[in-house]
Chains A and B, each alone.
Chain A
């Protein structure tokens, strides 16, 4: 089945895939998702710790911060494999995005503490930076003698209840600063809502939440390129996870339709079904090709060509996973319309990932606007 094909001279990629396969033996993704959903939890802290032990949370963090210092290619291979195994803890936000912000923050004690905690899994570091419709959060930081006071709201926060630390992107003047806020600090209200894939997202309200000056991790973020880089890395991670989920949903459907007999034959022998399966396979192939292209552009042509390639890859992988999983449900018949059959969980996971950090329609418009910009 389609997968991200990269040269693997020292076997790192194969090793990553193997380690996810072994992990999935210990933590069945679908079962974990149902358990988390049943418990109404935002993340599963045991699985999160195991992911830390596997060395996945600090994969891209630089070695001087205690990370593995690997790149987006390794991250993509890892996330693709996690997508296949339906291991749905929010790596893109809590490791890749938070990690990129910390890597770009000013050196200091707080940064080191957070990086260390993030990598070891002892601290869940949730980024707080968006509104519910995906814009920049309307949280403002007012500076005073001892630090800053935060007011305003943010949405789409993952792991808001499990979080130990909130990485808040706050407006200060015309620019943005990054502040580390202990979760549960006075002046923060959390309102959780369930997501379709059995987790939660929260809206956070800050009412004069005070933060000491040494918790300010970075200033003047708007022009720095740091946010764009973090978003790009997270988008590519999401694209890889979508590609993995799509490819696995295709595989499961090929297997099912080969097994399922109606009218005396496997239903996969009917041409109408074969053509659908081929369309699904082609969508999965294109996703993987788009992701490889983005990885190559990032390595060889950073800047606009890479930015375009990442937009295209997330849009393609999102569309593909959505299309594949919808067809997969249909081809499973009534079985696909049950909660017991994992194929529906793949569909729900794809819906979440596809909507995160821009859906295909939005990303395509961004692509065209960027490409045509002088």
Chain B
């Protein structure tokens, strides 16, 4: 891996140009604009390794750890260009979640051991937070970790763990003690090898009949104490802290942007732009997307100027997920009788995956903090409304 330059000293335009050119030249065409939202590691391995070799796999990790060391502004450009070129999502929990967590809170030994293995693709991570009884109310999680000499013994169950079936490590939130008043206390972060005895992974088919999330069961799984991150009982704040500025990306316009381009393709093929009623509805969606861009930029600017985001960034995710749904719904509406087909609809020279996107658009309003939870955050933290 070559020593990297200081990307942050480039102008945004320069960086965008360099990044886009290389990605466009190197992201394999057959992986572009994938139908699948969450391909498993093997499906995108060549792209993963190409990025790793270039040193561009981890945009925000400091360069000393093999990252690009991008600041928030440059990171946004990275994400934007990635989406614009239709590059596939890679299993990125190691890059986006575990890496930043260890860099901030891990021991030197943990950093030295785990970070290179993420970059090489040797370790593929998943995020073990949600449980059957702990979804929106994550702090009520119960998967138990009990200290036993130089180990923890883990018992319990996680669910909705994206890509656990292609991962070999899981970042696990466990319960080590119970405080009746404050549920957030007594939560501990452990790094768990999924190949340990006592771990069972069962894939779950999603609404699109793809297995992209899983149940993960833990039965007397022995975890070396050195796999503890931070302190026992104090894991909640670690988990919160690494979310950081990444929250802005849940509201990034890329999903509705892709959906709108599909709507346009179908509408053109079906002559819908000759129908004033459609144009009226389309115009609303088009401007919603346009204005989402403005709102995104408002938060991006704040991030560039202050390096942090407030609770108010939740507004992006709500608007974005609802717009994504409205666009995919309109696409089915103009498909008319053909809205019933599961496979892609012929449109001009190509096809439009109307149903694929329609079904996918159900998820964003649920994960990453459901829209109700986001609204509650805004009500309390921004408007200061009483309980």
Show the binding face of A for B, using Cβ within 8 Å.
130, 132-134, 156, 193-197, 201, 261-264, 267, 270, 272-273, 326, 329-330, 333-334, 336-340, 344, 351-352, 354-357, 359, 361-362
Contact = CB atoms under 8 A, between A and B. Distances in A.
Contact of B206 (A262, A339, A351): A339
B355 A334 contact: no
Contacts of A196: 340-342, 355
Nearest to B358: A351
B206 A355 contact: no
Nearest to A195: B340
Contact of B207 (A261, A344, A362): A344
Nearest to B371: A330
A351 B361 CA distance: 15
A333 B366 contact: yes
A326 B361 CA distance: 11
29 contacts: A132-B338, A133-B336, A193-B341, A194-B341, A195-B340, A201-B340, A263-B137, A264-B140, A270-B372, A272-B372, A326-B362, A330-B365, A330-B366, A333-B366, A333-B370, A334-B367, A338-B204, A338-B206, A339-B205, A340-B204, A351-B332, A351-B358, A354-B339, A355-B332, A355-B336, A359-B337, A359-B339, A361-B333, A362-B336
Contacts of B137: 262-264
A335 B204 CA distance: 10
Contacts of B207: 329, 336-339, 344
Given A354-B339, A355-B332, 15 more contacts: A133-B337, A134-B337, A193-B343, A194-B341, A194-B342, A194-B343, A330-B365, A333-B135, A336-B366, A338-B207, A351-B332, A351-B358, A352-B340, A355-B338, A355-B339
Interface in B361-387: 362-363, 365-367, 370-372, 375
Interface in B38-96: none
A355 B136 contact: no
Interface string B266-277: 000000000001
Interface string B340-354: 111100000000000
B133 interface: yes
Given A330-B366, A351-B332, A339 B136 contact: no
- 9 shortest interchain CB distances as A-B pairs: A355-B339, A262-B137, A339-B205, A134-B337, A194-B342, A352-B340, A334-B160, A196-B342, A355-B340
Contacts of A352: 340
A334 B205 CA distance: 11
B335 interface: yes
Given A326-B362, A330-B365, A336-B362, A134 B341 contact: no
A336 B335 CA distance: 25
Given A337-B206, A338-B205, A338-B207, A351 B340 contact: yes
Contacts of A361: 277, 333
A268 to B, nearest CB: 13
A370 B124 CA distance: 61
A262 B340 contact: no
A339 B362 contact: no
Contacts of B5: none
Contacts of A197: 340
Contacts of B371: 330
A262 B140 contact: yes
A156 B342 contact: no
Contacts of B340: 195-197, 201, 351-352, 355-356
Contacts of A359: 333, 336-337, 339
A156 B136 CA distance: 42
A337 B363 contact: yes
B342 A330 contact: no
Contacts of B206: 337-339
Interface string B108-152: 000000000000000000000010010111001000000000000
B306 interface: no
B332 A334 contact: no
A86 to B, nearest CB: 16
B9 interface: no
Nearest to A262: B137
Nearest to B338: A132
Contacts of B11: none
Interface in B250-278: 277
B263 to A, nearest CB: 15
Nearest to B213: A334
Contacts of B160: 334
A201 B342 CA distance: 10
Given A195-B341, A336-B362, A338-B204, A263 B136 contact: yes
A351 B375 CA distance: 28
A50 B258 CA distance: 46
Contacts of B358: 351
Contacts of A354: 339
A243 B136 CA distance: 31
A321 to B, nearest CB: 13
B366 A273 contact: no
Given A330-B362, A355-B335, A362-B336, A261 B204 contact: no
